[in-house]
Amino acid sequence: MKYNNPVIKGFYPDPSVCKVGDTYYLVCSSMQYFPGVPLFESKDLINWNQIGHCLTRESQIQLDKVNSSGGVFAPTIRNNNGRFYMTTTNDTTHQNFYVWTDDIYGEWSEPVYVDQGGIDPDLYFENGKTFFMGNGTDDQGIGGIVQCEIDIESGNKLTSSRSIWQGTGGRFLEAPHMYKINGKYYLLAAEGGTEFGHMAIYARGDSISGPFEEYLYNPVLTNRNLGGYEIQAVGHGDLIQDNNGNWWMIHLGFRQMGQWLTYHHLGREVFLTPVTFDEEGWFTAGHSGTTITCFETNRLSDDVVQKEKKSFTFENTEWDKDWCYLRLPHTHNYILEQNKLTLKGTEITMDQPDSPTFIGIRQKDFNAIISCDLSLMHGEAGITLYMDEHHHYDLAVRKDKNGYKVLERLNIGDIKSIENEMDLGSNNQATLIIRASHDRYNFHLYTDGKDIHLGSAQTKYLSSEVAGGFTGVIIGLYAYGQGSLAEFSKFKCEYL
Ligand code: 6LW
């Protein structure tokens, strides 16, 4: 059968995967968004269903006023003796911690902190021992992949932190994961940075603490030399073995906007690449060490069909799974109903690293029609295409002393400009429509039976290459201004 990459589209970076019985579980990082760490399950590695989040309570994650692309960094999910563990970093507070649950559909524990610095923590369980590993600097000040043994009940370190591998010399050695396969310890990691130079590398050894022998042909997986190719930045992966004994890598990558448009605005996404071991126990990945859009494989049974949800509405999404808030939401400003959303604005704007009244769903593909009916009582409300506080495009209705108007506002770095506006008179209702393509957003208003084109803006100014950071565009519904009140209905995001 054939399957297409990415297997999870939109801003779902830094994936980690584990398998229990015949079910796979996957987590991603979530930065400044709440709830933190989206959690998915799958029976076949290509169809992933979001079942919740690991960090759903304020007591588990401190996101109040964290910087954009701060907060929750790369997680690892593992299962030991029936208990799930998810470990991650709050990069803003520089804390490494894990949470656990015995019920994957239920709540996760309070955080257990580990006193080892760095990012991208991994947990490895063996013979009653737990090893904690990340990238950073060890107790002697030596950088690299750093490991210690911990007490899994308390998170206390049982040994000092020791640097066990320095990688292959590429910049930003990160994302380490440990596996024991046929008696050898494999250490998988990433180098090159999470941008166009990204790659996956590995080494193996006879002891969990090294020394490790590097794979001769590293990087084992990278698209860094594929100029003009849609899929870029592959790296940061986790290995998983399927029911038939085949190995795969779940890893991040992104889709650039166009052949010669080296920008990406949909965030880092989840890819699946086959991995093959040779007789000596070294493995290769993908199509000659690259990840491609369509893999033809006999590893998945022919009756597995890759499904893709193309239409997202209030009615067919769940507020606590598909939608997210910025940082620490003021929940009393949101009334979430099955087919309606009511928002109350505050003085907090979307231009601040704070928690404006905002609830969003990831943009998952280039071509889309996003529409929503809006009824505004006071203030301002609308749809925003949100990358960060300095990079967002807003299509809004605003009330001022002369009545209501609809406006298109672009925020690109220090340029904040209302590009187009149109009076609605005393009409406080509008259908807002955004038509998205790979390189443009077009802003429309539907009123009095007419589709009015307000204006258009380039997608590239919302890309990571312009805005910086590690997130992707979120389609946000927002209200702004003390006393603002708005009702949203008939939301639809349809991918073409
Ligand atoms: C993450 C690092 C990375 O911690 O991006 O792709 C960082 N790799 O490993 C932020 O998501």
Residue pLDDT, tens place only, 243-287: 999 999 999 999 999 999 999 999 999 999 999 999 999 999 999
CA of 74 to the centre of ligand 1 (A): 6
Report percent pLDDT > 70 for the chain.
100
Q: Spell out the domain ranges in the chain.
A: 2-296, 311-495
Residue pLDDT, tens place only, 292-307: 999 999 999 989 999 9
Beginning with the edge strand found earlier in the chain, give each strand of the sheet holding 16-20 in spatial order: 16-20, 23-27, 36-42, 49-55
| Residue among 188, 199, 236, 238 whose CB has most ligand 1 atoms within 8 A, to mutate | 236
- 10-28: average pLDDT: 98
Residue pLDDT, tens place only, 442-472: 999 998 889 999 999 999 999 999 999 999 9
Tokens of 188: 């998988």
CA of 285 to the centre of ligand 1 (A): 21
Contact 114, 155 (CB under 8 A): yes
Spatial distance between the Cα atoms of 439 and 434, rounded to a whole number of angstroms: 13
Residue pLDDT, tens place only, 195-229: 999 999 999 999 999 999 999 999 999 999 999 99
CA of 338 to the centre of ligand 1 (A): 35
Task: List 112's β-bridge partners, or say none.
Answer: 98
pLDDT at res. 448 = 81
CA of 120 to the centre of ligand 1 (A): 7
pLDDT at res. 160 = 97
Contact 57, 103 (CB under 8 A): no
Contact 319, 48 (CB under 8 A): no
Encoded amino acid at 363, one letter: Q
Task: List 441's β-bridge partners, or say none.
Answer: 436, 457
Residue pLDDT, tens place only, 96-110: 999 999 999 999 999
pLDDT at res. 123 = 98
Contact 466, 391 (CB under 8 A): yes
Ligand 1 pocket residues where CB is under 6 Å: 13-14, 29, 73-74, 119-120, 174-175, 190, 194, 236, 252, 470
Contact 296, 32 (CB under 8 A): no
- Name the closest-CA residue to atom 3, ligand 1: 194
- 466: which DSSP letter? H
For 49-72, letters b (16+ CB in 10 Å) and e give: ebebbbbbeeebbbbeebebbbbb
pLDDT at res. 449 = 87
- 14-22: average pLDDT: 98
Residue pLDDT, tens place only, 153-183: 999 999 999 999 999 999 999 999 999 999 9
Pairing of β 33-34 and β 49-55:
unpaired
Class of domain 311-495: mainly beta
pLDDT at res. 10 = 98
Tokens of 323: 């939608």
CA of 426 to the centre of ligand 1 (A): 49
Spatial distance between the Cα atoms of 315 and 302, rounded to a whole number of angstroms: 32
- Name the closest-CA residue to atom 9, ligand 1: 175
Tokens of 20: 């229990």
- Name the closest-CA residue to atom 1, ligand 1: 74
Q: Quick one: which H or E segment has residue 416?
A: strand 415-425
Contact 479, 374 (CB under 8 A): no
Residue pLDDT, tens place only, 326-343: 999 999 999 999 999 999
Residue pLDDT, tens place only, 398-455: 999 989 999 999 999 999 999 999 999 999 999 999 999 999 999 999 988 899 999 9
pTM: 0.97
Domain 2-296 belongs to what topology? Answer: Tachylectin-2; Chain A (2.115.10)
Contact 376, 483 (CB under 8 A): no
Q: Which atom of ligand 1 is nearest to 89's Cα?
A: 4
pLDDT at res. 330 = 96
Indicate the pLDDT class of residue 69, thresholds 50, 70 and 90: very high
Tokens of 298: 């006999």
In sign, the C-alpha dihedral spanning 16, 264, 382, 437 is negative
- Name the closest-CA residue to atom 10, ligand 1: 73
Verify cis geometry, omega within 30 degrees of 0, for the bond prior to 6: yes
Active site residues per annotation: 14, 174
Does residue 22 register a pLDDT over 90? Answer: yes
Contact 268, 31 (CB under 8 A): no
- With a CB cutoff of 8 Å and minimum separation 6, the contacts of 19 are 25, 240, 241, 242
Q: Which atom of ligand 1 is nearest to 236's Cα?
A: 6
pLDDT at res. 447 = 86
